[in-house]
Amino acid sequence: MAAEAAAAGRLWLSACRAGGHWRRLCSAGLLRGFLQPASAVGDAARRRQLAHFTFQPDPEHQDYGQTQKMNLFQAVTSALDNSLAKDPTAVIFGEDVAFGGVFRCTVGLRDKYGKDRVFNTPLCEQGIVGFGIGIAVTGATAIAEIQFADYIFPAFDQIVNEAAKYRYRSGDLFNCGSLTIRSPWGCVGHGALYHSQSPEAFFAHCPGIKVVVPRSPFQAKGLLLSCIEDKNPCIFFEPKILYRAAVEQVPVEPYNIPLSQAEIIQEGSDVTLVAWGTQVHVIREVASMAQEKLGVSCEVIDLRTILPWDVDTVCKEECFLNLEAPISRVCGYDTPFPHIFEPFYIPDKWKCYDALRKMINY
Amino acid sequence: MRKMLAAVSRVLSGAAQKPASRVLVASRNFANDATFEIKKCDLHRLEEGPPVTTVLTREDGLKYYKMMQTVRRMELKADQLYKQKIIRGFCHLCDGQEACCVGLEAGINPTDHLITAYRAHGFTYTRGLPVREILAELTGRRGGCAKGKGGSMHMYARNFYGGNGIVGAQVPLGAGIALACKYNGKDEVCLTLYGDGAANQGQIFEAYNMAALWKLPCIFICENNRYGMGTSVERAAASTDYYKRGDFIPGLRVDGMDVLCVREATKFAAAHCRSGKGPILMELQTYRYHGHSMSDPGVSYRTREEIQEVRSKSDPIMLLKDRMVNSNLASVEELKEIDVEVRKEIEDAAQFATADPEPPLEELGYHIYSNDPPFEVRGANQWIKFKSVS
């Protein structure tokens, strides 16, 4: 850390808005494949489709006991299982959670813990969150699921005006800290406008709640357990494209990863890359591309908690005085999340690499 | 060899003779119209309901048959294209619910308005869009009705406001359209549709209150196909009498598998609204054969026997066909010809939808706002710029 601070200066690159898309393979360059006229069935089927990221698992953690190979949704199930076992007041509810959930995050929990602890709600997000706040206020642990982050907006009022302000407005007499809202998040390749959104920015300016986005199964379980145990209402966004694509060795026993702590995944001295969720894997690749092609050493940071975020890790003291180039943001366009144009909308590794290159040459 | 040639020539000339045979069929003595009995509707806060008998003319019958068959074949073609990965994303099919879209259209005027949720392909067709534009929109091509930018859930046409992805969000919109109808004073009504799952959304009740308070000409229609995605109505709603959920709004429960029943009920409801009595609620009891969307097999929350039973006893197309044939409004051959015509139309549309080019990349930024000078869309980096043009 000291060595970095002493370095001549820092270049910043922050990549927001994680996503995934199925990019059609083409001979060279990203655009050419798409600008070809759409042709008959055979051609379309022949074009292979790749995600815009490669999941990079972390090395297995030894300090938490026995581990098991799990993907993201299994890690979430494991965390929920641990919570319900430890805390007799914990309940899980949401649309379709009883049979296991549309992404299989709650499989087996109803059978194990009973139908009064894992139950379905009708189709009403505002009702789900409001109801969850009520449970939490009495002291029980409420774990609500919003089926897609895109549907969280009817509940926005409840989250921002009720949940976030409860402790403050009652002078700490009451609080809904034992509420956790989980929601599948981010683009998935074919989600279009209403199954791909990343709404963490809407909540990022609301004091009173915490917003967390994991990048991998190991991170997800630890962060989710921390969110559930945290004495503040938390929103936990789970990158849906990683549910199956991300597989890692995850400890079976419960463990916590602290909130509001960013993680420096890779040390570097020239450029800082910050991202969260799926995008972390994109910028990891960008970092290795930069090292290989430009000889640039990148520091890769996973922000993990969006609110309250870890200012200290991300910008060291006086960093703004030492920046050698303006901070660059690489994210989706200022349009609604498109249907057919998704591959062009996503901040993939080429856009990030390009931004980095321009920054180096500033 | 000779016999074979003769057989071949007979077949070929048979094909050429088709027009002749059609003339033959047409000159058969068909009835001009027939009277049918339809199921009585359950009523809520209404003294009397729609009539229990209705007259169907031959012309109307053929028209409804063709429309329903087109919707059915279009949905099945969409299923096929989806499995071939030509259609991506989300695709919610409405086969089984054809009587709803065709019956509703039959009960209103083209100048009336309609808004629905995401199971919208059938309504897009009945509201006047050609099949090729619908399929092209599904495949995301520039020939699509929303220029390829909307996809399955966002199709629009004249007096048809979509196509809405967020469950229940379209109902307050429908109430607003009804307000505009009342304000404009042109005697138009707005049909606002939602499903049995959406019936539990809070904003629906907000819309009920406004519509009743201000006596808006809004027909709220709950398309109850018994399952909200994978949740059956008993597990989602405290009261499954959706036609009564409007409380202070009168309601009727209609057999949604019978196109004539739907038509009569719609006419009744439209007359109620046009006479200034305020909103009315219709529950259409219907069924969908496919799962909720293409990623749902549709058999994990209901049995195949149930689907089969509905298909064999209450299929809307079969019901209409049987009625027409049995009362001599049409012949089986004639209806088969319509089937062939429809199939061809759908094939051509699918061909178009597959071959049409995708919208140009520049359109990624178009139509965000309405603005005079095009502005640059803020984005990923400073090298790929998109303009928003409206």
Q: What is the pLDDT of residue B26?
A: 53
Q: Which residue, B313, B352, B311, is CA-closest to B145?
A: B352
Contact B94, B122 (CB under 8 A): yes
Chain A residues in contact with B151 (beta carbon < 8 A): 192, 339-340
Residue B364: which of A35, A194, A345 has the nearest Cβ? A345
Residue A334: which of B140, B153, B378 has the nearest Cβ? B378
- Given a cut of 80, is residue B261 above it in pLDDT? yes
* Average pLDDT estimate for A36-61: 64
3-state secondary structure of A314: helix
- Given a cut of 60, is residue A51 above it in pLDDT? yes
Q: What is the pLDDT of residue B372?
A: 73
Q: What is the mean pLDDT of chain A?
A: 86
Sign of CA dihedral B253, B258, B262, B263: negative
Q: What is the pLDDT of residue A317?
A: 66
B140 bridge partner residues: none
* Rounded CA separation B108/B266 (Å): 7
* Average pLDDT estimate for B259-265: 97
Closest chain B residue by Cα to residue A336:
B368
Q: Mutate which of B231, B356, B381 to disrupt the A interface (most A C-beta within 10 Å)?
A: B381
Chain B residues in contact with A96 (beta carbon < 8 A): 229-231
Stated as kind and residue range, the H or E segment containing B366 is: none
B225-236 residues labelled b (16+ CB within 10 A) or e (exposed): bbbbbbbebeeb
- Given a cut of 50, is residue B359 above it in pLDDT? yes
* Average pLDDT estimate for B349-360: 94
Q: What is the pLDDT of residue B389?
A: 75
Q: Does A134 touch chain B (CB under 8 A)?
A: no
A184 bridge partner residues: A238
- Given a cut of 90, is residue A19 above it in pLDDT? no
- Given a cut of 90, is residue A29 above it in pLDDT? no
Stated as kind and residue range, the H or E segment containing A188 is: none
Q: What is the pLDDT of residue A22?
A: 25
- The CATH class for the domain spanning A67-251 reads alpha beta
Mean pLDDT lowest for which of A268-282, A292-306, B143-157, B189-203? B143-157
Instruction: Tell me whether residues B167 and A151 touch, CB distance under 8 A.
Output: yes
- Given a cut of 70, is residue A89 above it in pLDDT? yes
Q: Does A43 touch chain B (CB under 8 A)?
A: no
Chain B residues in contact with A358 (beta carbon < 8 A): 381-383
* Rounded CA separation B138/B146 (Å): 10
pLDDT level of residue B1 (50, 70, 90 thresholds): low
Q: What is the pLDDT of residue A1?
A: 39
What would the 3-class secondary structure string for A230-278 be? CCCCEEEEEECCHHHHCEEEEECCCCCCCCCCCEEEECCCCEEEEECCC
- The CATH class for the domain spanning B38-165+250-304+311-364 reads alpha beta
Is A195 one of the catalytic residues? yes
What would the DSSP string read from start to end of A53-79? ----PPPPP-TTS-EEEEEHHHHHHHH
Q: What is the pLDDT of residue B388?
A: 75
Angle at the Cα of B100 from the Cα atoms of B96 and B105, rounded to 5 degrees: 140
Instruction: Tell me whether residues B365 and A335 touch, CB distance under 8 A.
Output: yes
Closest chain B residue by Cα to residue A46:
B85
Q: Does A354 touch chain B (CB under 8 A)?
A: yes
The 8 Å CB, 24+ separation contacts for B359-363 are: B359/A340, B359/A341, B359/B140, B359/B141, B359/B142, B359/B147, B359/B148, B359/B149, B360/B142, B361/A31, B361/A34, B361/A35, B361/A341, B361/A344, B362/B386, B362/B387, B363/A341, B363/B147, B363/B149
Q: What is the mean pLDDT of chain B?
A: 90
pLDDT level of residue B217 (50, 70, 90 thresholds): very high
Domain range A263-361, its CATH number among 2.60.40.10, 3.30.70.20, 3.40.50.920, 3.20.20.70 = 3.40.50.920
Residue range(s) in chain A whose domain bears CATH number 3.40.50.920:
263-361
* Rounded CA separation A293/A288 (Å): 8
Which ipTM value was assigned to this complex?
0.73
Q: Where are the beta strands (DSSP E) in B258-331?
A: 280-285
Q: Which residue, B376, B189, B358, B213, is CA-closest to B267?
A: B189
Instruction: Tell me whether residues B229 and A330 touch, CB distance under 8 A.
Output: no
Higher pLDDT, B6 or B239: B239
Contact B231, B288 (CB under 8 A): no
Q: What is the pLDDT of residue B21?
A: 47
* Average pLDDT estimate for A226-242: 97
Q: In the numeric block, which tokens belong to residue B359?
A: 């919208």
- Given a cut of 60, is residue A18 above it in pLDDT? no
- Given a cut of 90, is residue B330 above it in pLDDT? yes
**Most confident range, picked from A41-55, B325-339, B358-372:** B325-339
Instruction: Tell me whether residues A340 and B140 touch, CB distance under 8 A.
Output: yes
* Average pLDDT estimate for A211-229: 97
A86-101 residues labelled b (16+ CB within 10 A) or e (exposed): eeeebbbbbbbbbbbb
Helical segments of B281-375, H only: 304-313, 316-326, 332-355
Q: What is the pLDDT of residue B9?
A: 59
pLDDT level of residue B11 (50, 70, 90 thresholds): low
Q: Which residue, A128, A130, A227, A225, is CA-closest to A177?
A: A227
Q: What is the pLDDT of residue A34?
A: 34
Q: Break chain B into its structural domains and give their ranges.
A: 38-165+250-304+311-364
Mean pLDDT lowest for which of A40-44, A321-325, B45-49, B99-103? A40-44
What separation in angstroms does the CA of B295 have from each of A67, A357, B290?
32, 41, 10
Is A125 one of the catalytic residues? yes
For strands A118-120 and A91-94, give the pairing. parallel
Contact A145, A101 (CB under 8 A): yes
DSSP A29: S
> Which phi and psi angles does B79 have, rounded to 5°?
-60, -45
Mean pLDDT lowest for which of A319-328, B232-241, B263-272? A319-328
Neighbour tally for A260: CB within 10 Å = 19
pTM for this entry: 0.81
- Given a cut of 50, is residue A26 above it in pLDDT? no
Contact B75, B93 (CB under 8 A): yes
> Which phi and psi angles does B110 have, rounded to 5°?
-65, -20
Q: Is the peptide bond before A308 cis (omega within 30 degrees of 0)?
A: yes
| Model pLDDT for residues B31-56, shown as the tens digit of each residue | 899 999 999 999 999 999 999 999 99
* Rounded CA separation B208/B313 (Å): 35
Q: Does B239 touch chain A (CB under 8 A)?
A: no
| Model pLDDT for residues A136-195, shown as the tens digit of each residue | 999 999 999 999 999 999 999 999 999 999 999 999 999 999 999 999 999 998 888 999
Residue range(s) in chain A whose domain bears CATH number 3.40.50.970:
67-251
Q: Which residue, B241, A170, A362, is CA-closest to B233?
A: B241
- Given a cut of 70, is residue B24 above it in pLDDT? no
Stated as kind and residue range, the H or E segment containing A144 is: strand A142-145
| Model pLDDT for residues B67-123, shown as the tens digit of each residue | 999 999 999 999 999 999 999 888 999 999 999 999 999 999 999 999 999 999 999
* Rounded CA separation A296/A291 (Å): 5
Chain B residues in contact with A124 (beta carbon < 8 A): 200-202
For strands B218-224 and B113-115, give the pairing. unpaired
**Percent over 90 (pLDDT), chain A:** 73
Contact B367, B389 (CB under 8 A): yes
Contact A280, A18 (CB under 8 A): yes
